């Protein structure tokens, strides 16, 4: 299943409008979309989320910004972001769950150790990456085929992320192909 990642900074760098990318995502019939905006104000993020809701019928996951959870169907947090709630991951997830209820919750992971820790948490899926080098996260450690082996340790559905292409093929437990940069091909 394809899981689209819309990164506001990447949209701006590539000169692609949110409306054009949403049309492309709808054309590809992508059922899950994650909206990430690391620099924008709450007002900008809210406006984008409202716009997405008007033009996209699939599941909308918000990256990090729990304050806007009412506009989404779930939340995705990174390893650094979860620690903002508590140094204890179980406690952090309890606090997040108290705010988002039964909405979807995903957590970024990068290796077997983080996967095993995530297995103890009340999550709906994990993101696992980076699979390949990307232009958006230069600091990401690329683990390639080793990630596919590490994914087997997850009790949660896995979304493989980082340089994933639309034509990549993966086996269970990888349920989601998280597509970012490959979405922009043919746009602009």
Question: Which pLDDT score is estimated for 94?
Answer: 97
Average pLDDT of the residues in 17-43: 95
Q: What is the mean pLDDT of the chain?
A: 93
Average pLDDT of the segment spanning 133-143? 69
- Reduce the secondary structure of the chain to three states and give it as a string: CEEEEEEHHHHHHHCCCHHHHHHHHHHCCCCEEEEECCCCCHHHHHHHHHHHHHHCCCEEEEECCHHHHHHCCEEEECHHHHCCCCCCHHHHHHHHHHHHCCCEEEEEECCHHHHHHHCCCCCCEEEEECCCCCCCCCCCCCCCHHHHHHHCCCCCCEEEECCCCCCCCCCCCEEEEEECHHHHCCCC
Structural domains in the chain, CATH included, are 2-184 (3.20.20.70)
pLDDT in tens, 53-109: 999 999 999 999 999 999 999 999 999 999 999 999 999 999 999 999 999 999 999
Q: Is the pLDDT of residue 47 over 80?
A: yes
Give the residue-averaged pLDDT of 25-53.
96
Q: What is the mean pLDDT of residues 21-47?
A: 96
What percentage of the chain has pLDDT greater than the value 90? 85
Look at residue 31 and tell me whether its pLDDT is greater than 80: yes
pLDDT recorded at residue 45: 98
């Amino acid at each position: 299943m394809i899981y689209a990642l819309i990164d506001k900074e990447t949209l701006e760098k590539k000169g692609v409008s949110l409306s054009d990318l949403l049309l492309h995502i709808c054309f590809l019939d992508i059922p899950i979309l994650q909206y990430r905006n690391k620099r924008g104000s709450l007002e900008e993020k809210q406006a984008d989320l409202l716009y997405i809701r008007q033009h996209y019928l699939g599941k909308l996951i918000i990256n990090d910004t729990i304050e806007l959870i009412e506009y989404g169907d779930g939340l995705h947090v990174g390893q650094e972001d979860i620690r903002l709630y508590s140094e204890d991951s179980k406690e952090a997830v309890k606090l997040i769950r108290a705010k988002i209820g039964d909405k979807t919750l995903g957590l970024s992971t990068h290796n077997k150790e983080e996967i095993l820790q995530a297995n103890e948490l009340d999550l709906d899926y994990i993101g696992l990456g980076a699979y390949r080098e990307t232009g958006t996260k230069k600091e990401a450690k690329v683990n390639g085929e080793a990630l596919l082996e590490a994914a087997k340790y997850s009790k949660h559905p896995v979304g493989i992320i980082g340089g994933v292409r639309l034509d990549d093929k993966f086996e269970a437990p990888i349920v989601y192909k998280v597509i970012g940069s490959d979405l922009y091909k043919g746009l602009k």
